[in-house]
Structure formats: structure tokens, C-alpha cells
Chains A and B, each alone.
Chain A
């Protein structure tokens, strides 16, 4: 049995998550778990380690979806609550709707694709180490404080609506406050006064485009976007936001031995 369906109707989150563990324990070969009638159950996929596992969720999962997750793919046919991908290690989260605040919080690896919008403080404190480079791709827009204290990884904001049309200039404020690693790519123009302290607008180069291209292509594939839309996204004007320095607050404190 490679596919298992769990009806989550009226289930407490502990019960649901225990069910998932039980399925995996009893049947290590299972490749897909389908969760029906999910309504706010938290911590789905938290700490799961299995690389070849896909969890499909119908409904709205609760907070901390896929927290500390290492490997699986989670597909949400609906919106997600706050902090999907919190401190995630590896794997993929695909959200067909929008997601709440602190999406991809402290993410350390893997990818999160959100078709709609994300809430406040998304991508906050994402970090990278060696080949672990977390990626957050947002189809619509982000609320304020996107990429705050970002320490590594890539955030991409596509700025399109459900049909793939332009949403106009992004509105978020305090983008990249305290950023000291990684980069935020926003399609379209961003004013300097939308940036937070320690963030800077850097030249968007060919290398940057090469870097983000595979993730945009993957986004289009997940959400079935046409070649036209994809090409338009790739050929748009992009703004790159990156740290002024790796040590934004280095000068704030007393130097060693004055």
C-alpha cells in the first residue's frame, strides 16, 4: 500500500499526527498520505524525516506546518496558518492558497512555494550553511518585515494574482530589517524607504537571474502556470535586496580593549 488516506474530521492534532506516525511505522514503504478534512490541526509533518514521502492536505492546516521537517513534500490544497516551514531542514512545502505570519521562519533548507500571499515577518531569520540554502517563493505579496534578520537563503516575490496578472508595485515596509546574509528578489520596483535598517538595493545581475530561474520554473510547474507567464516573470524588472554587510551591528558595541 503506497497511498494512505486519513480523514481528519474532528480529530485533535495530537491524534492526527500520531496517526501519521503510525502509518509510517506500520508501512515504511508508504509514498503518499492524503489528509482529508483538515481543519486547523497543528504541527502536521513536524520533525518528519522521510525523503520520498508526500503528504497532500485538503483543507486548512494549523500553525507550524512541517516544522523541523527533513525531507518530505507537503502539498496544501487550501490556505495555511502561521509559520509553515518553521525551522525546516529540508523538503518542500507547496501551498495553493495563502499562508499566515512568519512563513518560513528560521528555515534552514528546503523550499516553500506559496501561490497566494504571505503574512507579516515571513522569511524571518532564514539562514544558510554550505549546500543548505532555503528558498521561499511567494506568488502574490508579503506583508511588512519580509526577510527580517535574514541570515541566508533566497526569498522571491513574484507579485502576480491568481490569473498571473501583475499586482502593481509591492507595498511592504521594513523589508530586510537587520538582514546579514542571503538575498530577497522582488519583481518590480521597490523604493529605498521600504527597506529596513541594514538592507540595501543591489544591482540585479545575470547571475542573479540564473540563481532564481530554477525556482521560478519550479513554481510555475507546481501551480500550472503557462509558458507565457513564466517568460514574463523571467523577463521582468527585478529588484535585489541584500545586506549592507555581514556584520550589520558590528559598530554598535565597544571594540575589544578600548
Chain B
């Protein structure tokens, strides 16, 4: 066997003066870092991914995890990651897998955008006293409303009554512009999904199934669930399409634009096989393209076929990765009968992606939202279709900025997982998540209590919703509708002229 050459990334130390040898860490660590030897806990640092489960669970606070930087000769170009990747590939000859989103130090544009507030003229609004409207409708809106005027006799008097003539397309009604992103059952555990489902129901919003089908225990929450149709068509049948509140076609994903998905056979357990409707132990491959889509017209055909299958009663979204061509694609989507375009930025997480894709393919979500919104406006299509932004939304300010840049609503994925305890350790692809989130191992899954999980996720959504109301009030706006695409409320700090132009915002001081 070829040796690894890669020294441990982290250093795990157990303080023998604090440790009481309860052996909890040996059970908690699903990666097998800790082992008892005699009257000591021995830790194999090279297996540690800094998921912090042992640290959080040690009753004596005896465990310390540090970055093991000293073992490498420092170099500005050949950094630790670059060298470790080469050692690993020289050992395995394989494509490197990774989890979560882009881990490179690219500029985070959200952090270079600041919000504006009112002072004296157009005064700010107190959200504690005034109602703040966060209700959002996702779906097609009519260009204009037409009415029929009919004369009716009421109490002997003839009264002209207006009746709405325009047919309004089915929309999703959100109490807050925050939804939970599509993460598949298979990549995530059932308890993680249950936590999300209970939380979105409580908060009056929606979650996505991802491409893994809809597990039966989620059926009671189906009217808060958006089902997904990906190239693998896993778990897709008429019942599945009818069950959800809306359908999303996944063309691309921010974490891995241009490639498909692949759930390895060893993770296809009995439950996953029943939900995806494939045999146990067989690979679940979603190839990069949909087999029936080779043009924007083909995409329109799939949109329409899903509408036909659901008798034109469910909104259909199309999700694409944020790539430089996103605005042109969005125009195509807008003309296809689709109700919303979802743009997923390169910070968007994933259970497993080739590392080279995660870190190098795609563009920042901030740029993509602004460019798509702008282009749809120019084409006169913006009001025909909703924009949902996802990929790296970390706080209520990010939500606010995304909406001001042109989105109708956002999807949060990683943030919702962090609410459940996820440490963004990036090893979801191993299926050993010690927090019971990205795993199917029953002993790990049961670590996540769906009731507690739901509370934590609902708390997060509610907290952000409060903050958004405060931010709206400060901006002197009392409805999220008035924030959408309102880039006047944004200013750039430390951005060059081109970046400001793409984002469509002014520099601070202007």
C-alpha cells in the first residue's frame, strides 16, 4: 500500500488532569479518533476533521483541538491544502471529494455591501409599533389586472361590482422570505429532514426535498415541501409530484455547477432505496444533464410536462447554478411557463462534490442575483417570474441584501444545518457525521432529536425574521415588496467600479 504522507490537519489533546475516563469521547467520535488505553485516552489526530462532537460532549472540558500548522514548512504558494491534495491523489489516483461550499478566500461581496438607514427626512419606522409586511408570494404575477364590471341589485339598489377577470397563477405563500434549501434524503438523515419540516410548518415557509424523493414520515408536512425533479428522477412519480406544494427542476447546483449527483451504493439503505425507488446498494447516479433536455425549448417542455402532470395547479421552479451565463438562461426560463428561477451561488453547500468543482467553479451569488434581476427587467420579464437566491446566506443581513439586489426570497441550507449543530467540517461525504445530520447510520441519526432540531431551526428563522423587520424599519420601508430590487438602499465599500456596476449599487458616500 502507498503511504499517505499527509500529517494530521488538526491536533487533538486530552488533558489527563481533567479527564475522568468516562469514555464518552470514544463513543461520540464516529471517525474513531479516541480510544482508551489503560488509564488514558489516546487520540489519533490524523482521523480528526474538527467536527467538535467530542469537545461539545466531554463532561470535563478535557479535549482541545487545534490546527496542526507547525508540521508544515510555510510557503505562500504551496500552502498546506495544495500539498495535502497532491499527497492524497498520489496515494489514491482518485477525484478528491469534499463537502459543504467553496472554501477559498474569494471576496465575500455581502460583506462589502452596507445597508442604508433613514435619519430625519422619510423617518425610520418602529417595527414594534407598526406592522411590517414580510409576506412573500412566489410564482407568476400577472402583468396587469383586468376586471369585469357587473351590475348587481342589493337592497333594491343597482350597484356596479368589479370582478377579477385575470386568472392568477398558483403562488406559494410565505410568511417570511426565508425557505430551507433542497438537501436530499440520503445526503441528510431523516431526523434532519424532520427537523426542517416541523420548523418550516411552524414558521409558515417551505423546505425542499432535494433529489432523494419524499420519505413517508414527511408526508404530513407535504404542503410545506417543494419536491425536486433532478436528472436521476429518483422517487419521482405522480403521487410525489401531487404531494408537494411546488416542484423544482434541478438543472444545476452552486457547489458543483455542470456536474450531476452521485450517491454511492453503500449509502443506499433500505429506507433510501424505498424513497428513491431503486434497489438497495445500487449507485444513485444523476448524470450532469437531464437526458431529455438539450436546449431551452427542451427545458420548457419539462416545465410544461410537470405542469400537465399536476394539472397546472403547482408552481414549477427551475434551479441553476450561478454561472456567468445565468441572466440569459433566466430569460429562457422566464419564457418557459416556469414560475421561479432559483440561482444557487458557489458558496452553496453539498453532501459531496469533487473538491476541484466546489472550490473553483461558479460565480458569487451576489453578482448573479443582480445580473439576473437586471436582465429580466430589461427584457420586461421580471414581474413574470420570481427569483430565489441561495448559496452562502449566513445571516439576516445577507437575506436583506440578497432581496435588495433583486431576489424575492432566499433558500438557506448550511445555516439551517448549523442551527442543528453542524460544524461545517466538510466531511459530509463520508456519511459519518457525528452530529447525526449528514449520515444514515442509525446510531448517529438518533443523536439528532427532531423536536429539538425543529425548535432550533424555527428559532433561527424567527430571529432573522425579527431582524429583517428591524432593518426594514430602519430603511423607512414597511414591506418586503418595497425592498425587492431596491438597490438604492445598498452601498459598496472597497469595491471597484466594475464590481459596483455589476451589482448595480453606488459606492458609500455617493
> What residues of chain A have their CB less than 8 Å away from a CB belonging to chain B?
14, 17, 21, 42-43, 46-47, 49, 63-64, 67-70, 82-83, 86-87, 89, 102, 105-106, 108, 121, 124-125, 127-129, 132, 148-149, 151-152, 178, 180-181, 246-258
B291 touches A47 (CB 8 A): no
| Residue numbers in B under 8 Å from A252 (CB-CB) | 94-95
| Residue numbers in B under 8 Å from A46 (CB-CB) | 305, 308-309
B4 touches A258 (CB 8 A): yes
> What residues of chain B have their CB less than 8 Å away from a CB belonging to chain A?
4, 6, 31, 47, 88, 91-92, 94-97, 231-233, 236-238, 241, 262, 264-265, 273-274, 277-279, 281-283, 285, 287, 291-292, 301, 304-305, 308-311, 352, 354, 429-432
Name 27 A/B residue pairs within 8 A (Cβ), A-sorted: A43-B304, A46-B309, A47-B309, A49-B238, A63-B301, A70-B237, A83-B292, A89-B238, A102-B291, A106-B291, A108-B233, A124-B291, A125-B287, A148-B291, A178-B285, A178-B287, A180-B283, A180-B285, A181-B279, A246-B282, A249-B262, A249-B283, A249-B285, A250-B283, A253-B97, A254-B94, A258-B4
B233 touches A255 (CB 8 A): no
A255 to B431 CA separation, bound complex (whole angstroms):
12
Residue in B88, B305, B431 whose beta carbon sits within 8 Å of that of A258 in the complex: B88
| Residue numbers in A under 8 Å from B278 (CB-CB) | 127-129, 151-152, 181
> Shortest beta-carbon distance, A61 to chain B, in Å?
13
A64 to B281 CA separation, bound complex (whole angstroms):
30
B265 touches A246 (CB 8 A): yes
Known interface pairs A47-B310, A151-B285, A246-B265; A102-B292 also in contact (CB < 8 Å):
yes
> Shortest beta-carbon distance, B290 to chain A, in Å?
9
B304 touches A42 (CB 8 A): yes
A180 to B284 CA separation, bound complex (whole angstroms):
9
A152 touches B262 (CB 8 A): no
> Shortest beta-carbon distance, A133 to chain B, in Å?
11
A251 to B281 CA separation, bound complex (whole angstroms):
15
| Residue numbers in A under 8 Å from B285 (CB-CB) | 149, 151, 178, 180, 249
| Residue numbers in A under 8 Å from B232 (CB-CB) | 106, 125
| Residue numbers in A under 8 Å from B354 (CB-CB) | 253
A247 touches B264 (CB 8 A): yes
A251 to B266 CA separation, bound complex (whole angstroms):
13
| Residue numbers in B under 8 Å from A89 (CB-CB) | 237-238
| Residue numbers in A under 8 Å from B236 (CB-CB) | 68, 87, 106
Interface centre among A69, A246, A251 (most CB of B within 10 A): A246
7 additional A-B residue pairs with CB within 8 Å, beyond A129-B279, A253-B264: A42-B308, A68-B309, A82-B292, A83-B292, A87-B236, A247-B265, A254-B96
Contact residues of A: prevailing secondary structure = loop
Residue in B96, B237, B283, B305 whose beta carbon sits within 8 Å of that of A248 in the complex: B283
Residue of A nearest to B91 (CB): A258
Known interface pairs A149-B285, A178-B285, A181-B279; A258-B92 also in contact (CB < 8 Å):
yes
A64 touches B95 (CB 8 A): no
Residue in A14, A68, A127 whose beta carbon sits within 8 Å of that of B277 in the complex: A127
Known interface pairs A17-B308, A64-B305; A70-B292 also in contact (CB < 8 Å):
no
Residue of A nearest to B293 (CB): A102
A146 to B72 CA separation, bound complex (whole angstroms):
51
| Residue numbers in A under 8 Å from B47 (CB-CB) | 257
> Shortest beta-carbon distance, A41 to chain B, in Å?
11
A106 to B293 CA separation, bound complex (whole angstroms):
13
A152 to B264 CA separation, bound complex (whole angstroms):
16
Interface centre among A68, A89, A128 (most CB of B within 10 A): A68
> Shortest beta-carbon distance, A51 to chain B, in Å?
13
| Residue numbers in B under 8 Å from A253 (CB-CB) | 94-95, 97, 262, 264, 352, 354
A86 to B309 CA separation, bound complex (whole angstroms):
12
B309 touches A67 (CB 8 A): yes
| Residue numbers in B under 8 Å from A42 (CB-CB) | 301, 304-305, 308
Residue in B264, B304, B308, B429 whose beta carbon sits within 8 Å of that of A47 in the complex: B308
B264 touches A250 (CB 8 A): yes
> Shortest beta-carbon distance, B273 to chain A, in Å?
7
A83 to B301 CA separation, bound complex (whole angstroms):
11
A252 to B232 CA separation, bound complex (whole angstroms):
19
A257 to B96 CA separation, bound complex (whole angstroms):
11
A181 to B282 CA separation, bound complex (whole angstroms):
8
| Residue numbers in B under 8 Å from A257 (CB-CB) | 31, 47, 430
| Residue numbers in A under 8 Å from B92 (CB-CB) | 254-255, 258
A106 to B47 CA separation, bound complex (whole angstroms):
40
Known interface pairs A127-B277, A258-B6; A247-B301 also in contact (CB < 8 Å):
no
Known interface pairs A125-B291, A178-B287, A246-B265; A254-B304 also in contact (CB < 8 Å):
no
Interface centre among A64, A89, A151 (most CB of B within 10 A): A151
A129 touches B277 (CB 8 A): yes
A248 to B310 CA separation, bound complex (whole angstroms):
35
A64 to B354 CA separation, bound complex (whole angstroms):
33
